[in-house]
Amino acid sequence: MRDQRLVNLRRRLIPYFLLGPGILWLILFFVVPMYFMGRLSLDTGIFPEFRFNWQFSNYTDALSAYDTQFFRAFRYSAIATIIGLLIAYPLAYAIAFRGGKWKNAMLLAVIAPFFTTYLIRTLAWETILSDNGFVVNTLQSVGLISEDGRVLATSGAVIAGLTYNFLPFMILPIYASLERLDTSLVEAAKDLYSSSRQAFLRVTLPLSMPGVVAGTLLTFIPATGDYINAQFLGGAQQAMIGNVIQSLYLKQTDYPAAAAISFTLMAAMLLIVFIYIRIAGSEALMGEEVEERT
């Protein structure tokens, strides 16, 4: 009798032993830092003397000073996400349904950019788009940009960089959901006299939505906070909120303002993700949960 109780107790404690170290790490180095950042955002003073003071005006001051960069980041990121989706969906579809024996090679090509460092890829684009490079010369001779026109330091260059760098994150989840899709459903739709377009819109597209949701989130979230593309491919006029946070923290050491902006960015991000998941369905992020329970 007592033995059985001990065994039961041990069984009940096992998950906590498994969970403990990792969750503790996340609490200590993710949750607690958030608390400290929140506190720092309400400090007053100048480097290196800060005092906690419930200084809520840090938020209003920082936001009115940097609202341009804040909204620019969301705008660039949203555009890059949409363009990325337009490139990624047909590509994922081609790999999943028309890849044939080339399927693995195509997937390898999709993740190949990951085999080089993010910064070097962006540098490569800087080289490609540089002022006396091939692309700019061609555009100039065709007349799409003026004789002394540039591609670098335009919003187009930054958005193109963002689109490129996060494209695999868009392609892979969409591919995964298309790959899982039961093609007999599409055939059934066609047997029931739906056109190819109808079958796509009514069957394939809805069934691949979890992939689309995951892909757009995996693009939008990192792209909004990014500051590498704006740094390498843009100029002062293309600075995003990530550039502001980086500069306030690491160059100007105005920690309260930097913390206030970071906190606002985090809150805005979580809010957008929450609303988006509510509208588009949560299977993408929590999908496993349903299967686990059964």
Partner 1 sequence: MEAATATLPKRRESAGSRAWKWFKHNAIVIYGGLAIAYMLVPIVLIVVFSFNDPAGKFNFTWQGFTLDHWAHPFEISELTDALLLSLRLALLATVISTALGTMIALALVRYDFFGRRASNYLIVVPTATPEVVLGASLLSMFLIYGLSLGFTTLLIAHVMFCISFVVIVVRSRLIGFDRSLEEAAQDLGADPFTTFRKITLPLIWPGIIAGAMLAFALSIDDFVVSNFTAGTEVTFPLYIFGAAQRGIPVQVYIIATMLFSVTLLAMIFTVLQQRRADKLASVRPEQEV
Q: How far is the CB of 193 from partner 1 (least distance, A)?
A: 19
Q: Smaller CB distance to partner 1: residue 33 or 206?
A: 33
Q: Smaller CB distance to partner 1: residue 28 or 188?
A: 28
Q: How far is the CB of 105 from partner 1 (least distance, A)?
A: 9
Q: Smaller CB distance to partner 1: residue 46 or 108?
A: 108
Residue 251 is encoded by which pair of tokens?
């160059």
Q: How far is the CB of 26 from partner 1 (least distance, A)?
A: 5
Instruction: Count CB atoms within 10 A of the CB of residue 51.
Output: 8
Return d(Cα 121, Cα 165) in angstroms, integer.
8
Q: Smaller CB distance to partner 1: residue 130 or 194?
A: 130
Q: How far is the CB of 155 from partner 1 (least distance, A)?
A: 20
Q: How far is the CB of 228 from partner 1 (least distance, A)?
A: 7
Return d(Cα 281, Cα 274) in angstroms, integer.
10
Return d(Cα 132, Cα 33) in angstroms, integer.
45
Could you write out the DSSP letters of every residue in 10-43? Answer: HHHHHHHHHHHHHHHHHIIIIIHHHHHHHHHTTE
Q: Smaller CB distance to partner 1: residue 194 or 247?
A: 247
Cis peptide before 210 (omega within 30 of 0): no
